[in-house]
Amino acid sequence: MASSTPSESVSVKKVALASSIGASIEWYDFFIYGTAAGLVFNKLFFSNLEAGVGTLVAFATFAVGFLARPLGSLVFGHFGDRIGRKKMLIMTLFIMGAGTVVIGLLPTYDAIGLWAPALLVLMRVLQGIGVGGEYGGAVLMAVEYAPQGRRGFYGSWPQVGVPAGLLMASGAFGLVSLLPEDAFLAWGWRLPFLASALLLIVGMYIRLSVLETPAFARVRHEQEEVKVPMVTLLRTQPKELILGMGTRWIEGLTFNAYGVFVVSYVANNLGLESGTALGGVIIAAAVGVLLIPVCGALSDRFGRKAVYRVGAIGIAVFVFPSFWLIQTGVTALIWLSIIVSLGFVYAAIYAPLAAFWAELFDTRIRYTGVGSVYQFSGIFASGLTPLIAALLVEANGGEPWLFAGYTVIAAVVSLVAAHFLPETSQRDISTFDYTGATRSTAEPVVASRP
């Protein structure tokens, strides 16, 4: 493989940064819903229900977004593998931003009755479709531009979008939660959603400035696109798809347990202020922004699976102590639990996965493959986690230990899945072919600006 020229290196950094910023904006849109579900929507959109039931239903609507994400993955993955990564990323950003702004404008249950939760769910579906198509494209824009031996590092940049989006979402809600409760419930909660309009403009400008990836440009140039990427994926690489989804379980569970569920648990079960856990989430997200690129670079040196194992084993070992710390009700200990789990341990799990998943699949079905691994598994790994956690805590008399045991089981399953996948850090993705044949090693064709 040809070595990178300085101009190419600059291009890689520009594209990776653009992917990271765009992903941060989309994840901000997605996460403010998760925060609002536990703090606001149960009171304003499901006020006709008992408090505990309202919280469960609000988290169920949170899960609806994850149910819609596979649809977004299928649609945008199909066209991303057929007509290009860039075009799909522009469309997903618009869909996501528009749905978020509309949520900020919705009347509550007291104003329009059942139409309020119905419209809320509809906008959550739009959010799910948008982010469903986002992940695969953002990852591939970075990984397919990156030189071999640096894909873990550059592939981790769009991964930074998750803690960065969470940081922005938690920070936004942390600020508006300082308002008196009446003002917060009347109008303050809407501000983080309406702010998405400005972020949408910024994101569009950034994504319009980048070019198509060289890997996909080569496929288009050689007319090697497959007609139905999902069918080809299921026919040629089902093992990679299924095991990849297994590696996703502990990642999604860890993030949503400590980034979403714990916020509600501290407020509703321990009776502390709603902003208590948010402080820890904000610090953990800041740690993740800094640590994820480091863990991505470590995966280039030691392998994707080695770094991933450290994180998965780490959360299995720490989950019981972490909830003991939370149970104390001491703010500093709650923060410590969240920061270690969501900041340090999660970074090791999540950072190598972008490059790992991308390297598993042929360029011709890579958008569909990566998106399907992430979004189909997201239903059980992420979307249902707050609901499952709430049900297990309820069944355990308000104690978190059943859920902690569930987390250990998920970690073991994910580790087994990773064991049966190949180490991919040294794979040449420009020549990898799902048929086993050696593909052309010609220099990549760089797409022109549309």
For the segment 339-356, what is each residue's pLDDT rounded down to a tens digit?
Answer: 999 999 999 999 999 999
Which pLDDT score, from 0 to 100, does residue 415 have?
98
pLDDT for 435: 65
- Of 207, 69, 146, residue with least CA distance to 354: 146
pLDDT exceeds 70 at position 439: no
Of all residues in the chain, the percent with pLDDT exceeding 70 is 93
- Higher-confidence residue of 431 and 363: namely 363
Range in 105-119, 311-325, 356-370, 423-437 the model is least confident about = 423-437
User: Highest-confidence range of 224-238, 317-331, 362-376, by mean pLDDT?
Assistant: 317-331
Task: Give the pLDDT of residue 412.
Answer: 98
Q: How far apart are CA 424 and CA 53, in angstroms?
A: 45
Q: 7 pLDDT band (50/70/90 cuts)?
A: very low
Whether pLDDT at 137 is above 80: yes
pLDDT 10s digits, 242-294? 999 999 999 999 999 998 899 889 988 898 886 788 889 889 999 999 999 99
Domains, the chain, with CATH or none: 13-212+235-419 (1.20.1250.20)
Q: For the chain, what is the total number of helices (H) and then of strands (E)?
A: 22, 0
User: What pLDDT is stored for residue 178 in this prediction?
Assistant: 86
User: Higher pLDDT residue, 324 or 67?
Assistant: 324
pLDDT of 19: 85
Inter-residue long-range contacts of 302-306, CB under 8 Å, 24+ positions, other chains counted: 303/423, 303/425, 304/152, 304/352, 304/353, 304/355, 304/356, 304/359, 304/423, 304/424, 304/425, 305/352, 305/356, 305/418, 305/419, 305/421, 305/423
pLDDT band at 446 (very low <50, low <70, confident <90, very high): very low
